[in-house]
Protein backbone atom coordinates (compact mmCIF):
# COMPACT_ATOMS: atom_id res chain seq x y z
CA UNK A 1 0.00 0.00 0.00
CA UNK A 2 2.98 2.34 0.39
CA UNK A 3 6.68 2.56 -0.40
CA UNK A 4 9.47 4.22 1.54
CA UNK A 5 11.26 7.18 0.01
CA UNK A 6 14.86 6.09 -0.62
CA UNK A 7 16.34 9.18 -2.21
CA UNK A 8 15.47 12.82 -2.78
CA UNK A 9 13.04 13.23 -5.66
CA UNK A 10 14.69 16.45 -6.85
CA UNK A 11 18.40 15.61 -6.68
CA UNK A 12 18.73 11.89 -5.92
CA UNK A 13 20.67 12.40 -2.65
CA UNK A 14 20.27 9.80 0.10
CA UNK A 15 21.16 12.23 2.89
CA UNK A 16 17.66 12.76 4.25
CA UNK A 17 17.14 14.09 7.79
CA UNK A 18 13.84 13.55 9.68
CA UNK A 19 12.45 16.98 10.64
CA UNK A 20 8.76 16.53 11.48
CA UNK A 21 6.82 13.47 12.60
CA UNK A 22 3.03 13.43 12.85
CA UNK A 23 2.79 9.71 13.68
CA UNK A 24 0.25 7.67 11.73
CA UNK A 25 -2.61 9.47 10.03
CA UNK A 26 -5.52 8.49 7.80
CA UNK A 27 -5.59 9.65 4.18
CA UNK A 28 -6.85 13.22 4.37
CA UNK A 29 -9.46 12.96 1.60
CA UNK A 30 -10.65 9.43 2.38
CA UNK A 31 -14.21 10.43 3.29
CA UNK A 32 -16.32 7.30 3.84
CA UNK A 33 -19.77 6.49 5.10
CA UNK A 34 -20.07 4.49 8.31
CA UNK A 35 -20.29 1.11 6.66
CA UNK A 36 -17.51 1.52 4.04
CA UNK A 37 -14.08 0.09 4.87
CA UNK A 38 -11.58 2.97 4.82
CA UNK A 39 -8.08 3.02 3.33
CA UNK A 40 -6.20 2.77 6.62
CA UNK A 41 -3.55 4.80 8.43
CA UNK A 42 -0.06 5.57 7.19
CA UNK A 43 3.09 7.08 8.70
CA UNK A 44 3.46 10.81 8.16
CA UNK A 45 7.08 11.92 8.47
CA UNK A 46 8.82 14.83 6.78
CA UNK A 47 12.43 14.30 5.65
CA UNK A 48 14.73 17.15 4.61
CA UNK A 49 17.28 16.75 1.83
CA UNK A 50 20.59 18.21 3.01
CA UNK A 51 21.81 18.42 -0.57
CA UNK A 52 19.07 20.47 -2.28
CA UNK A 53 16.80 21.43 0.69
CA UNK A 54 13.62 19.78 -0.58
CA UNK A 55 11.37 18.64 2.28
CA UNK A 56 9.42 15.51 1.42
CA UNK A 57 7.41 12.73 3.03
CA UNK A 58 9.10 9.50 4.06
CA UNK A 59 6.39 7.35 2.49
CA UNK A 60 4.60 7.30 -0.85
CA UNK A 61 1.10 5.89 -0.54
CA UNK A 62 0.07 3.92 -3.61
CA UNK A 63 -1.67 6.53 -5.82
CA UNK A 64 -4.35 4.03 -6.81
CA UNK A 65 -5.33 3.87 -3.11
CA UNK A 66 -5.09 7.63 -2.58
CA UNK A 67 -7.01 8.75 -5.65
CA UNK A 68 -9.56 5.97 -6.13
CA UNK A 69 -12.00 7.64 -3.72
CA UNK A 70 -11.05 11.27 -4.21
CA UNK A 71 -13.33 14.10 -3.13
CA UNK A 72 -11.29 17.20 -3.75
CA UNK A 73 -13.00 19.54 -6.18
CA UNK A 74 -11.37 22.70 -7.54
CA UNK A 75 -13.05 25.30 -5.42
CA UNK A 76 -15.57 27.58 -7.09
CA UNK A 77 -15.11 30.08 -4.25
CA UNK A 78 -14.91 33.80 -4.95
CA UNK A 79 -11.31 33.73 -3.74
CA UNK A 80 -10.33 31.18 -6.40
CA UNK A 81 -12.33 32.83 -9.15
CA UNK A 82 -10.48 36.09 -8.47
CA UNK A 83 -7.19 34.15 -8.61
CA UNK A 84 -8.09 32.60 -11.98
CA UNK A 85 -8.81 36.08 -13.37
CA UNK A 86 -5.39 37.33 -12.26
CA UNK A 87 -3.72 34.22 -13.63
CA UNK A 88 -5.42 34.33 -17.05
CA UNK A 89 -4.46 37.99 -17.52
CA UNK A 90 -0.94 37.33 -16.30
CA UNK A 91 -0.37 34.41 -18.70
CA UNK A 92 -1.70 36.45 -21.59
CA UNK A 93 0.36 39.55 -20.89
CA UNK A 94 3.60 37.66 -20.17
CA UNK A 95 3.31 35.63 -23.40
CA UNK A 96 1.88 38.56 -25.36
CA UNK A 97 -0.82 36.27 -26.75
CA UNK A 98 -3.23 33.45 -26.02
CA UNK A 99 -2.67 29.93 -27.38
CA UNK A 100 -3.00 26.22 -26.72
CA UNK A 101 -3.06 25.05 -23.10
CA UNK A 102 -2.30 21.79 -21.37
CA UNK A 103 -3.33 21.59 -17.73
CA UNK A 104 -1.75 18.84 -15.64
CA UNK A 105 -4.07 17.75 -12.81
CA UNK A 106 -7.04 19.49 -14.41
CA UNK A 107 -9.53 18.25 -11.79
CA UNK A 108 -13.11 18.82 -12.98
CA UNK A 109 -11.98 21.21 -15.74
CA UNK A 110 -12.83 24.45 -13.91
CA UNK A 111 -9.66 26.37 -14.83
CA UNK A 112 -9.58 25.11 -18.42
CA UNK A 113 -13.20 26.18 -18.93
CA UNK A 114 -12.29 29.59 -17.53
CA UNK A 115 -9.23 29.95 -19.80
CA UNK A 116 -11.21 28.81 -22.82
CA UNK A 117 -13.68 31.59 -22.05
CA UNK A 118 -10.71 33.97 -22.23
CA UNK A 119 -9.88 32.67 -25.74
CA UNK A 120 -7.11 30.22 -24.81
CA UNK A 121 -7.56 27.40 -27.33
CA UNK A 122 -7.30 24.49 -27.92
CA UNK A 123 -7.37 23.16 -24.36
CA UNK A 124 -6.43 19.77 -22.94
CA UNK A 125 -6.50 18.42 -19.40
CA UNK A 126 -4.79 15.45 -17.77
CA UNK A 127 -6.54 14.11 -14.69
CA UNK A 128 -6.00 10.70 -13.05
CA UNK A 129 -9.00 10.73 -10.68
CA UNK A 130 -11.59 8.99 -12.84
CA UNK A 131 -14.61 10.51 -11.12
CA UNK A 132 -13.23 13.99 -11.91
CA UNK A 133 -12.06 13.36 -15.48
CA UNK A 134 -15.54 11.98 -16.18
CA UNK A 135 -17.16 15.19 -14.90
CA UNK A 136 -14.79 17.25 -17.08
CA UNK A 137 -15.39 15.12 -20.19
CA UNK A 138 -19.16 15.15 -19.68
CA UNK A 139 -19.10 18.93 -19.60
CA UNK A 140 -17.12 19.12 -22.85
CA UNK A 141 -13.58 19.71 -21.54
CA UNK A 142 -11.09 17.53 -23.49
CA UNK A 143 -9.38 15.44 -20.79
CA UNK A 144 -6.92 12.56 -20.79
CA UNK A 145 -7.90 10.34 -17.82
CA UNK A 146 -4.34 9.33 -16.88
CA UNK A 147 -1.48 10.14 -14.52
CA UNK A 148 0.81 12.68 -16.15
CA UNK A 149 4.14 11.03 -16.98
CA UNK A 150 6.54 10.48 -19.84
CA UNK A 151 4.23 7.90 -21.41
CA UNK A 152 1.20 10.22 -21.31
CA UNK A 153 3.32 13.11 -22.63
CA UNK A 154 4.53 11.02 -25.57
CA UNK A 155 0.94 10.17 -26.48
CA UNK A 156 -0.14 13.83 -26.14
CA UNK A 157 2.76 15.01 -28.26
CA UNK A 158 1.87 12.56 -31.02
CA UNK A 159 -1.69 13.88 -30.94
CA UNK A 160 -1.33 17.64 -30.30
CA UNK A 161 2.37 18.49 -30.73
CA UNK A 162 3.73 21.09 -28.28
CA UNK A 163 1.63 23.46 -26.21
CA UNK A 164 1.94 27.26 -25.85
CA UNK A 165 1.03 27.10 -22.17
CA UNK A 166 1.51 24.25 -19.71
CA UNK A 167 -0.13 24.69 -16.31
CA UNK A 168 0.66 22.62 -13.24
CA UNK A 169 -1.27 24.09 -10.33
CA UNK A 170 -0.88 22.22 -7.05
CA UNK A 171 0.38 19.08 -8.74
CA UNK A 172 4.10 18.98 -7.97
CA UNK A 173 3.36 18.28 -4.33
CA UNK A 174 1.28 15.25 -5.45
CA UNK A 175 3.79 13.76 -7.90
CA UNK A 176 6.24 11.11 -6.62
CA UNK A 177 8.59 11.14 -9.61
CA UNK A 178 9.74 14.70 -10.32
CA UNK A 179 12.39 13.67 -12.85
CA UNK A 180 9.81 11.92 -15.00
CA UNK A 181 7.31 14.78 -14.64
CA UNK A 182 9.75 17.55 -15.62
CA UNK A 183 11.10 15.51 -18.49
CA UNK A 184 7.51 14.97 -19.66
CA UNK A 185 6.80 18.72 -19.44
CA UNK A 186 10.01 19.44 -21.32
CA UNK A 187 8.91 17.10 -24.14
CA UNK A 188 5.80 19.19 -24.64
CA UNK A 189 7.56 22.59 -24.71
CA UNK A 190 8.63 24.60 -27.73
CA UNK A 191 11.10 27.49 -27.42
CA UNK A 192 8.40 29.97 -26.34
CA UNK A 193 6.19 27.78 -24.20
CA UNK A 194 5.24 29.40 -20.92
CA UNK A 195 5.07 26.84 -18.11
CA UNK A 196 3.24 27.91 -14.97
CA UNK A 197 3.84 25.95 -11.79
CA UNK A 198 1.91 26.83 -8.63
CA UNK A 199 2.14 25.27 -5.17
CA UNK A 200 1.93 26.18 -1.49
CA UNK A 201 5.31 27.69 -0.62
CA UNK A 202 7.26 25.81 2.07
CA UNK A 203 8.43 29.12 3.51
CA UNK A 204 4.80 30.22 4.05
CA UNK A 205 3.89 26.82 5.50
CA UNK A 206 6.73 27.19 8.01
CA UNK A 207 6.07 30.83 8.81
CA UNK A 208 2.31 30.40 9.18
CA UNK A 209 2.73 27.19 11.24
CA UNK A 210 0.48 25.50 8.68
CA UNK A 211 1.18 21.91 9.70
CA UNK A 212 -2.26 21.02 8.32
CA UNK A 213 -0.80 21.33 4.80
CA UNK A 214 1.16 18.18 5.57
CA UNK A 215 -0.73 15.05 4.53
CA UNK A 216 0.00 12.03 2.35
CA UNK A 217 -1.07 13.65 -0.91
CA UNK A 218 1.44 16.44 -0.33
CA UNK A 219 4.62 14.44 -0.78
CA UNK A 220 6.90 17.45 -1.28
CA UNK A 221 6.96 21.02 0.01
CA UNK A 222 7.80 23.42 -2.76
CA UNK A 223 10.78 25.74 -2.62
CA UNK A 224 12.93 27.36 -5.28
CA UNK A 225 16.33 25.79 -4.74
CA UNK A 226 15.33 22.17 -5.47
CA UNK A 227 12.99 23.30 -8.24
CA UNK A 228 15.80 25.11 -10.05
CA UNK A 229 17.91 22.04 -9.85
CA UNK A 230 15.44 19.75 -11.49
CA UNK A 231 14.18 22.24 -14.09
CA UNK A 232 17.68 23.20 -15.21
CA UNK A 233 18.48 19.56 -15.80
CA UNK A 234 15.89 19.59 -18.59
CA UNK A 235 16.84 23.05 -19.97
CA UNK A 236 13.97 24.82 -18.26
CA UNK A 237 14.49 27.93 -16.13
CA UNK A 238 12.49 29.89 -13.56
CA UNK A 239 12.00 33.26 -15.24
CA UNK A 240 9.86 34.89 -12.60
CA UNK A 241 8.28 34.13 -9.24
CA UNK A 242 5.06 35.59 -7.86
CA UNK A 243 3.70 35.08 -4.35
CA UNK A 244 -0.06 34.81 -3.84
CA UNK A 245 -2.07 34.78 -0.61
CA UNK A 246 -4.25 31.80 -1.62
CA UNK A 247 -4.02 28.52 0.31
CA UNK A 248 -2.08 30.20 3.08
CA UNK A 249 0.81 31.39 0.88
CA UNK A 250 1.45 30.07 -2.60
CA UNK A 251 4.17 30.66 -5.18
CA UNK A 252 3.65 30.83 -8.89
CA UNK A 253 6.70 30.02 -11.02
CA UNK A 254 6.85 31.20 -14.62
CA UNK A 255 9.18 28.82 -16.42
CA UNK A 256 10.55 28.64 -19.94
CA UNK A 257 13.52 27.76 -22.11
CA UNK A 258 15.33 31.08 -21.75
CA UNK A 259 17.67 31.36 -18.76
CA UNK A 260 16.86 34.47 -16.68
CA UNK A 261 19.28 37.35 -16.22
CA UNK A 262 19.27 36.85 -12.45
CA UNK A 263 18.42 33.50 -10.83
CA UNK A 264 15.56 32.98 -8.39
CA UNK A 265 16.41 30.98 -5.34
CA UNK A 266 15.85 30.69 -1.58
CA UNK A 267 17.41 28.94 1.38
CA UNK A 268 15.31 26.88 3.74
CA UNK A 269 17.23 24.75 6.23
CA UNK A 270 16.60 21.66 8.35
CA UNK A 271 16.85 24.01 11.33
CA UNK A 272 13.81 25.96 10.09
CA UNK A 273 11.82 22.74 9.90
CA UNK A 274 12.95 21.58 13.34
CA UNK A 275 11.91 24.91 14.89
CA UNK A 276 8.53 24.59 13.16
CA UNK A 277 8.14 21.05 14.51
CA UNK A 278 8.93 22.23 18.01
CA UNK A 279 6.35 25.04 17.92
CA UNK A 280 3.62 22.79 16.49
CA UNK A 281 4.17 20.14 19.18
CA UNK A 282 4.73 22.39 22.14
CA UNK A 283 2.25 25.14 21.36
CA UNK A 284 -0.01 25.02 18.28
CA UNK A 285 -1.64 21.61 18.88
CA UNK A 286 -1.76 21.77 22.72
CA UNK A 287 -3.34 25.25 22.64
CA UNK A 288 -6.20 24.12 20.41
CA UNK A 289 -6.67 20.90 22.41
CA UNK A 290 -6.98 22.96 25.62
CA UNK A 291 -9.32 25.51 24.07
CA UNK A 292 -11.72 22.83 22.79
CA UNK A 293 -11.51 20.94 26.09
CA UNK A 294 -12.30 24.08 28.12
CA UNK A 295 -15.19 25.14 25.89
CA UNK A 296 -16.70 21.64 25.95
CA UNK A 297 -16.42 21.58 29.75
CA UNK A 298 -18.32 24.88 29.85
CA UNK A 299 -21.12 23.14 27.92
CA UNK A 300 -20.46 24.94 24.64
CA UNK A 301 -21.14 23.14 21.36
CA UNK A 302 -18.45 23.07 18.70
CA UNK A 303 -18.52 22.20 15.01
CA UNK A 304 -16.01 22.46 12.19
CA UNK A 305 -16.42 24.63 9.09
CA UNK A 306 -14.95 23.18 5.86
CA UNK A 307 -14.15 19.47 5.62
CA UNK A 308 -10.89 20.28 3.87
CA UNK A 309 -7.97 17.84 3.94
CA UNK A 310 -6.60 20.28 6.52
CA UNK A 311 -9.54 19.48 8.80
CA UNK A 312 -8.58 15.77 8.75
CA UNK A 313 -5.04 16.65 9.84
CA UNK A 314 -6.20 18.97 12.62
CA UNK A 315 -8.84 16.62 13.97
CA UNK A 316 -6.59 13.56 13.97
CA UNK A 317 -3.59 15.44 15.39
CA UNK A 318 -5.73 16.78 18.24
CA UNK A 319 -7.46 13.42 18.77
CA UNK A 320 -10.95 14.95 18.62
CA UNK A 321 -14.01 12.72 18.38
CA UNK A 322 -17.70 13.42 17.82
CA UNK A 323 -17.92 14.11 21.55
CA UNK A 324 -16.11 17.42 21.09
CA UNK A 325 -16.67 18.22 17.38
CA UNK A 326 -20.31 17.50 16.58
CA UNK A 327 -20.08 17.81 12.80
CA UNK A 328 -18.14 19.56 10.05
CA UNK A 329 -19.98 21.50 7.34
CA UNK A 330 -18.83 21.49 3.73
CA UNK A 331 -20.14 22.72 0.40
CA UNK A 332 -19.09 19.53 -1.48
CA UNK A 333 -22.18 17.27 -1.78
CA UNK A 334 -20.10 14.09 -2.27
CA UNK A 335 -18.65 14.54 1.25
CA UNK A 336 -22.05 14.77 2.96
CA UNK A 337 -23.12 11.95 5.26
CA UNK A 338 -19.55 10.67 5.26
CA UNK A 339 -17.09 10.84 8.16
CA UNK A 340 -13.96 12.91 8.63
CA UNK A 341 -11.27 10.27 7.85
CA UNK A 342 -10.07 8.44 10.95
CA UNK A 343 -13.08 9.55 13.03
CA UNK A 344 -16.83 9.21 13.36
CA UNK A 345 -17.39 12.96 13.01
CA UNK A 346 -20.00 13.45 10.26
CA UNK A 347 -19.64 15.87 7.34
CA UNK A 348 -22.89 17.71 6.67
CA UNK A 349 -24.30 20.38 4.37
CA UNK A 350 -23.48 24.05 5.10
CA UNK A 351 -27.09 24.72 6.20
CA UNK A 352 -26.37 22.81 9.43
CA UNK A 353 -24.53 25.83 10.78
CA UNK A 354 -27.75 27.86 11.12
CA UNK A 355 -30.00 24.84 11.79
CA UNK A 356 -27.89 23.60 14.71
CA UNK A 357 -26.39 26.92 15.70
CA UNK A 358 -23.34 25.60 17.60
CA UNK A 359 -21.61 28.06 19.96
CA UNK A 360 -18.32 27.81 18.00
CA UNK A 361 -17.24 26.78 14.50
CA UNK A 362 -13.58 25.94 13.98
CA UNK A 363 -12.63 27.42 10.62
CA UNK A 364 -10.76 24.54 9.01
CA UNK A 365 -11.08 26.37 5.67
CA UNK A 366 -9.11 29.28 7.15
CA UNK A 367 -7.66 29.99 3.73
CA UNK A 368 -11.09 31.38 2.76
CA UNK A 369 -11.63 33.16 6.10
CA UNK A 370 -12.52 36.59 4.73
CA UNK A 371 -15.07 35.28 2.27
CA UNK A 372 -16.61 32.82 4.76
CA UNK A 373 -16.92 35.28 7.64
CA UNK A 374 -18.65 37.69 5.28
CA UNK A 375 -20.95 34.96 3.95
CA UNK A 376 -21.88 33.66 7.42
CA UNK A 377 -22.78 37.02 8.95
CA UNK A 378 -26.03 35.61 10.29
CA UNK A 379 -24.20 32.94 12.32
CA UNK A 380 -22.23 35.58 14.17
CA UNK A 381 -25.26 37.84 14.53
CA UNK A 382 -27.04 34.86 16.12
CA UNK A 383 -24.31 34.55 18.75
CA UNK A 384 -22.03 32.02 16.99
CA UNK A 385 -18.28 32.51 16.89
CA UNK A 386 -15.51 31.31 14.61
CA UNK A 387 -12.21 29.92 15.91
CA UNK A 388 -9.15 30.33 13.66
CA UNK A 389 -7.24 27.15 14.48
CA UNK A 390 -3.55 28.13 14.19
CA UNK A 391 -3.85 31.13 16.44
CA UNK A 392 -6.84 30.11 18.62
CA UNK A 393 -8.25 33.51 17.67
CA UNK A 394 -11.99 33.80 18.35
CA UNK A 395 -13.96 35.98 15.92
Binding residues for ligand TMP, how many (CB under 6 A)?
16
- The listed partner (ligand TMP, Zn ion, none) that binds 63, CB under 5 to 8 Å by sort, is none
CB 228 within 8 A of CB 36: no
Which residues on neighbouring strands pair with residue 47, listed in sequence order? 18, 56
Q: Whole-number minimum distance, CB 310 to ligand TMP, in Å? A: 6
| Measured distance CA(104)–CA(106) in Å, rounded | 5
* Residue 306 interacting with ligand TMP (CB under 6 A): yes
Distance from first CA to last CA of the chain, Å, rounded? 42
Site string for ligand TMP, 73-102 (x = CB under 6 A): --x-x-------------------------
What are the Cα distances from residue 296, in Å, to 286, 300, 323, 359?
A: 15, 5, 9, 10
* Residue 133 interacting with ligand TMP (CB under 6 A): no
One residue of 211, 367, 379, 390 binding ligand TMP per CB under 6 A: 367
Q: Whole-number minimum distance, CB 369 to ligand TMP, in Å? A: 9
Tell me how many degrees the CA angle 244-334-147 measures, rounded to the nearest 5.
60
Q: Whole-number minimum distance, CB 230 to Zn ion, in Å? A: 9
What are the Cα distances from residue 18, in Å, to 21, 136, 308?
A: 8, 39, 26
- The listed partner (Zn ion, ligand TMP, none) that binds 368, CB under 5 to 8 Å by sort, is ligand TMP
* Residue 47 interacting with Zn ion (CB under 5 A): no
Q: Whole-number minimum distance, CB 215 to ligand TMP, in Å? A: 11
Collapsing DSSP to helix, strand or coil, 222 comes out as strand
- The listed partner (ligand TMP, Zn ion, none) that binds 75, CB under 5 to 8 Å by sort, is ligand TMP
What are the φ/ψ torsions at residue 35 (nearest 5 degrees)?
-85, -20
Site string for Zn ion, 11-40 (x = CB under 5 A): x-x---------------------------
Binding residues for Zn ion, how many (CB under 5 A)?
8
Q: Whole-number minimum distance, CB 206 to Zn ion, in Å? A: 17
Q: From the CB of residue 182, how many other CB atoms can be counted at a distance below 10 Å?
A: 24
| Measured distance CA(344)–CA(359) in Å, rounded | 21
* Residue 239 interacting with ligand TMP (CB under 6 A): no
Cα dihedral 185, 230, 4, 127, rounded to 10, equals -20
Q: From the CB of residue 341, how many other CB atoms can be counted at a distance below 10 Å?
A: 26
* Residue 331 interacting with ligand TMP (CB under 6 A): yes
One residue of 5, 8, 307, 353 binding Zn ion per CB under 5 A: 8
Q: Whole-number minimum distance, CB 33 to ligand TMP, in Å? A: 17
One residue of 222, 348, 372, 387 binding ligand TMP per CB under 6 A: 372
Residues 6+ positions from 36 with CB-CB distance below 8 Å: none
- The listed partner (Zn ion, ligand TMP, none) that binds 325, CB under 5 to 8 Å by sort, is none
Collapsing DSSP to helix, strand or coil, 251 comes out as strand
* Residue 308 interacting with ligand TMP (CB under 6 A): yes
Candidates 113, 195, 116; CA nearest to 148 is: 195
Contact footprint for ligand TMP (CB under 6 A): 75, 77, 306-309, 329-332, 350, 365, 367-368, 371-372
Applying CB under 5 A, the residues found at the interface with Zn ion are 8, 10-11, 13, 49, 51-52, 54
Amino acid sequence: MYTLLKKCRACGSRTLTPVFNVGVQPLANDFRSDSDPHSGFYPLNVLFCEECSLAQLSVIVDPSVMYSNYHYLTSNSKTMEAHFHVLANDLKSRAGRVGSVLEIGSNDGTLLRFLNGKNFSPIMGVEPATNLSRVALNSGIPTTPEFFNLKTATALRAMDGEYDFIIARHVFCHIPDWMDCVEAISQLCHDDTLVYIEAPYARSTLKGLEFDQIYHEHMSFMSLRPMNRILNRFNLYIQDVVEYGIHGGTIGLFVGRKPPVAGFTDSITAKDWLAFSDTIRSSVIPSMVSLVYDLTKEGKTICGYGASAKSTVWINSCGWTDKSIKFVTDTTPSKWDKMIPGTSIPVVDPGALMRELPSYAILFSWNYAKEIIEKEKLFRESGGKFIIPHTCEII
